Amino acid sequence: MTTSAERPSVLFVCVHNAGRSQMAAAFLTHLAGERVQVRSAGSAPADTVNPAVVEALAEVGIDISAEVPKVLTVEAVQASDVVITMGCGDTCPFFPGKRYLDWELPDPAGQGVGAVRPIRDEIEKRIRGLIDEIMGD
């Protein structure tokens, strides 16, 4: 069994932590399991996760109905090897030595599940690529 120090850690950040970052964290947890430490946060978290996002993930067998948006902290960034931002711009803290990726994805806020599905599918594709990259499988 590996310790948490040996597992790569990834932080997903968007403004509200109610859509894109929640989907990305859920896919990485679902696909990589215990091999990766996963966090998500928002620079200005919403009160709840977007219901269309919850529904879109449920369609592919991932339940995030119990998730709640979390506030972005300096500690979360410092504890992560890879920080993936999704439209939070300059509000994301920057620390030298961290690997940053910016994924430009449409914001699912205010969208129905039909509009969320293609965003979900694109996030899944990117997560699969990320797993190959950070796990070296």
Mean pLDDT of the region 114-131: 97
Q: Which two tokens stand for residue 32?
A: 């990589």
Residue 136 is classified by DSSP as: -
Mean pLDDT of the region 121-136: 94
Burial of 98 (0-12, 13-18, 19+ CB in 10 A): middle
Spot the catalytic one: 10, 13, 14, 77: 14
Query: Angle at the Cα of 80 (from 53 to 87), degrees rounded to 5?
Result: 45
Mean pLDDT of the region 35-43: 95
Spot the catalytic one: 88, 116, 119, 130: 88
Is position 54 annotated as part of the catalytic site? no
pLDDT tens profile 67-117? 999 999 989 999 999 999 997 666 666 777 889 999 999 999 999 999 999
